[in-house]
């Protein structure tokens, strides 16, 4: 590692630029995002994504995966730098930061290039607000074998540090699409399978409907749920029954329930 550039100043331009990736404005301007931890970076490498910048703490222990990350970063034209523990703390905003951080390129799939045949199940989210929910849903989509996640309207940034952290690396394995409501409604007419929405006021049970692959699960945001406009665009709206005192589920949990119900029905 002696050949890598060493950064010791908290006011270094590289440090300031990476730290600024906590702000959406900077992520949008650069098309990049920050990821933390060697395991996470290994997930990226396995999916063919090499870091544009790899920051390695001076106290990072030798590891074969770290050697691979350094080699693939350099091969892809990225840079490897050594940094002090205080710099890791400042960038990660944690008192006990990971010893390896990385900056990656964002990847979005345009709506008109989405290949529905890649999977029998897809997820669309309308105006999701919570980065933890979004990250968890992306990880669920990966776990269940879904083709991707479509973000409709004013959604939280899937490449925020909090959302990326919640994906546990699945952000590299699941295609992500951003679109407006109007563009989604126009594109919806080209969808060849079923579109199923989830609403508390629906009458159909979530396991009782027949679906045609590819199925698109459409979920509303945490507070208001699915809007009337998008609910009307669904082939069917279903409900997950509340059998206890709580009157609703967390969005990520509800999406997980729906995702496995749909994938079990279509993939078995």
CA distance 141 to 105: 21
CB-count exposure of residue 115 (10 Å: 0-12, 13-18, 19+): exposed
How do 100-105 and 53-57 pair as beta strands? Answer: antiparallel
In this structure, the number of other CB atoms found within 10 A of the CB of residue 211 comes to 21
pLDDT(2) > 80: no
Residue 56 DSSP one-character state: E
Mean pLDDT for 172-189 is 97
| Spatial distance between the Cα atoms of 136 and 143, rounded to a whole number of angstroms | 10
**What tens digit of pLDDT does each residue of 152-171 get?**
999 999 999 999 999 999 99
Of the candidates 126, 116, 144, which has an alpha carbon nearest to the alpha carbon of residue 257? 144
Point out the least confidently predicted range of 136-140, 160-164, 238-242: 238-242
Locate the domains of the chain by residue range: 5-105, 111-267
Overall fold of domain 111-267: Alpha/beta knot (3.40.1280)
DSSP helix, strand, coil percent of the chain (3-state; round to 5): 40, 20, 40
State which fold the 5-105 domain adopts.
Answer: 60s Ribosomal Protein L30; Chain: A; (3.30.1330)
What pLDDT digit, counting tens, does each position of 83-114 carry? 999 999 999 998 889 999 999 999 999 999 99
Which pLDDT band, with edges at 50, 70 and 90, does 247 fall under?
Answer: confident
Q: What is the pTM of this model?
A: 0.94
């Amino acid at each position: 590692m002696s050949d890598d550039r060493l950064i010791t100043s908290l006011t270094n331009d590289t440090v300031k630029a990476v730290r600024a990736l906590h702000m959406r404005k900077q992520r949008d301007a650069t098309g990049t995002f920050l990821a933390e931890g060697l395991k996470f970076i290994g997930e990226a490498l396995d999916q063919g994504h090499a870091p544009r910048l790899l920051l390695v703490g001076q106290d990072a222990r030798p590891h074969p995966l770290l050697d691979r990350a350094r080699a693939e970063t350099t091969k892809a034209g990225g840079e490897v730098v050594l940094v002090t523990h205080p710099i890791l703390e400042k960038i990660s905003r944690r008192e006990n930061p990971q010893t390896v951080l990385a900056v990656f390129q964002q990847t979005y799939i345009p709506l008109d290039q989405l290949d529905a045949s890649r999977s029998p199940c897809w997820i669309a989210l309308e105006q999701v607000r919570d980065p933890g929910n979004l990250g968890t849903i992306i990880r669920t989509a990966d776990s269940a074998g879904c083709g991707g996640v479509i973000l409709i309207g004013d959604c939280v940034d899937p490449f925020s540090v909090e959302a990326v952290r919640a994906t546990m690396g699945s952000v590299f394995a699941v295609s992500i699409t951003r679109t407006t409501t109007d563009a989604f409604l126009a594109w919806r007419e080209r969808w060849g399978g079923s579109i199923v929405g989830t609403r508390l006021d629906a009458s159909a049970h979530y396991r009782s409907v027949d679906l045609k692959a590819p199925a698109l699960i459409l979920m509303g945001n945490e507070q208001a749920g699915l809007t009337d406009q998008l609910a009307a665009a669904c082939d069917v709206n279903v409900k997950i029954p509340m059998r206890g005192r709580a009157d609703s589920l967390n969005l990520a949990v509800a999406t997980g329930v729906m995702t496995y119900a749909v994938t079990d029905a279509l993939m078995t």
